[in-house]
Structure 1
């Protein structure tokens, strides 16, 4: 009796595959190279000072982490700045997170991603005078003063 659900599910899966064909996975193909080292680095509009101001205005440190004076350790946003200067594929890296701080850190990482995704276009990186896509790592410094 315990075997019946497995058999039914297997038959249902087999029937679906026979009727609909094999499921096909599709992925968006990117054929352009993404550089990690370029002759001219991408630049935020207004330079590093403007970037620091933008981050300070758009990233909020969760009060739950502030109350516990939680040291986030190194935090970095990693993303691609494409040849048009558009930011895409944002990811955030941190040190391992304590279990009791996970909710606050997830909230913090969401604000970082949201702020970076809505950045204005950057001046793209260049190689041989041509704009290229660049993998960029941006350290995020938390100052609780």
Structure 2
């Protein structure tokens, strides 16, 4: 009887005080340089730049002088873009349109670190205008 009671107490203490391992979701934003698999736009960067330029020209900026625009954004785990910012190269109206264009593009193939899909900070220079 003592063995049964001791076994029950031991079993109860193991199940009550054991640590549960929870998998935490990694929401860190990773730098592009240290990734195992870098994010990529379907069709490559040339296709991305062509789509952005085409959409920009269709938005009514055809007469603009050709110029370089610097953008930065986060590629989310689902391939969508967030925190899109235009750092320099155009005024506020054109920057707002470029942000809209970048957010409306097809999703990217996300980056991976240690076999897990992660959020990635991405800087993209664009040549826009005609």
Q: What TM-score comes out, normalization by structure 2 length?
A: 0.66
**Which ranges of structure 2 fall in alignment gaps of 5 or more residues?**
1-25
Kept in 2: contact 1:124–1:132 (CA 8 A):
yes
2 CA distance for matches of 1:49 and 1:78?
17
Match 1:134 to one of 116, 120, 124: 120
* 2:61 equivalent in structure 1: 62
For residues 93 and 113 of structure 1, what CA distance do their matches in structure 2 show?
11
For 1:90, the equivalent position in structure 2 comes to 84
Structure 1 length normalisation: TM-score?
A: 0.60
Extract unaligned runs of 5+ from structure 1: 1-30, 96-103
Return the index of the structure with the highest Cα Rg. Answer: 2
Whether the 8 Å contact between 1:62 and 1:107 is mirrored in structure 2 is no
**Aligned mates of 1:110, 1:126 — CA distance in 2:** 30
Pairs within 5 Å for 1:30-41: 32-37=27-32, 38-41=35-38
Asked if structure 1 preserves the Cα contact closer than 8 Å seen for 2:49 and 2:127, the reply is no
Tell me if the contact between 2:56 and 2:128 (Cα under 8 Å) persists in the aligned partners: no
**Root mean square deviation of aligned Cα:** 2.5
Large movers: runs of 4+ above 6 Å:
none
* In structure 2, distance between residues paired with 1:52 and 1:62: 16
Aligned pair count?
Answer: 102
1:117 deviates by 1.0
Instruction: Decide which structure has greater strand share.
Output: 2
Q: Deviation of residue 76 (structure 1)?
A: 1.1
Residue 62 of structure 1 and its aligned partner are, at CA, apart by 3.2
Distance in 2, matches of 1:62 and 1:83, equals 32
Looking at structure 2, the residues matched to 106 and 51 of structure 1 have their Cα atoms a distance apart, in angstroms, of 22
Q: Counterpart of 2:91 in 1: which secondary structure? A: helix
